[in-house]
């Protein structure tokens, strides 16, 4: 399979992140559309913070594939109010740098941090963009 670097293709990254976030296309179809491997799609959405793990990605795509087994049970859903994917997407798309150390998006892995430390307080004013090192308290 031909491997084309997605960042060099106009509209590719935005299209993939949007379709993935809104769950309008399967990973397989997105990969076909942009002529890349499904793994490239997964990596891209992870890199942009749309999903944090493969397991979370699987639950997103399960909606399209209708895999009931992969869906969260109501008890699991109730456990923690996670940051809505759409908000995560909007924040990560407009993020340019870490607000603490100013490291640019291109050089670090940016994450969304809950300022008050409460992972359930997803109010926009409680969220900020940090690099992984700052988020983990290494800087
Ligand atoms: Zn930082």
pLDDT digits (tens, 9 = 90+) for 17-40: 998 888 888 888 899 999 998 889
What is the rounded CA–CA span in Å between residue 79 and residue 119?
A: 12
Task: Assess whether 69 and 115 both reside in one domain.
Answer: no
- For ligand 1, the distance from its centroid to the CA atom of residue 135, given in whole angstroms, is 7
Task: Assess whether 69 and 117 both reside in one domain.
Answer: no
**Both tokens assigned to 31:** 């990969």
Contacts 24+ apart (CB under 8 A), 117-122: 119/80, 119/82, 120/80, 120/81, 122/81, 122/82, 122/83, 122/84, 122/87
Residue 89, domain member (yes or no): no
* pLDDT > 70 fraction of the chain, expressed in percent and rounded: 81
Task: Assess whether 70 and 100 both reside in one domain.
Answer: no
Residue 49, domain member (yes or no): yes
Whether this prediction's pTM lies above 0.85 is answered by no
Q: Answer whether 129's CB lies under 8 Å from 98's CB.
A: yes
Residue 90, domain member (yes or no): no
**Both tokens assigned to 128:** 């900020």
- Mean pLDDT, range 70-80, rounded to an integer: 61
- For ligand 1, the distance from its centroid to the CA atom of residue 74, given in whole angstroms, is 36
Domain count across the chain: 2
* pLDDT on residue 72: 60
Task: Assess whether 72 and 132 both reside in one domain.
Answer: no
Highest mean pLDDT among 7-11, 25-29, 85-89, 101-105: 101-105
* pLDDT on residue 1: 42
What is the rounded CA–CA span in Å between residue 113 and residue 10?
A: 29
Q: Which domain holds residue 50?
A: 1-80
- For ligand 1, the distance from its centroid to the CA atom of residue 107, given in whole angstroms, is 10
- For ligand 1, the distance from its centroid to the CA atom of residue 134, given in whole angstroms, is 4
DSSP state of 106: T
**Both tokens assigned to 51:** 């999903």
């Amino acid at each position: 399979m031909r491997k084309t670097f997605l960042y060099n293709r106009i509209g590719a990254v935005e299209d993939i992140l949007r379709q993935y976030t809104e769950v309008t296309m399967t990973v397989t179809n997105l990969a076909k559309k942009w002529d890349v491997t499904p793994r490239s799609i997964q990596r891209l959405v992870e890199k942009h913070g749309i999903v944090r793990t493969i397991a979370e990605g699987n639950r997103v795509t399960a909606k399209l594939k209708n895999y009931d087994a992969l869906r969260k049970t109501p008890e699991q859903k109730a456990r923690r109010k996670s940051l809505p994917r759409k908000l995560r997407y909007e924040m990560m798309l407009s993020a340019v740098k870490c607000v603490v150390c100013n490291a640019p998006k291109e050089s670090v892995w940016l994450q969304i941090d809950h300022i008050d430390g409460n992972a359930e307080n997803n109010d926009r004013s409680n969220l900020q963009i940090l690099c992984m090192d700052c988020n983990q308290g290494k800087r």
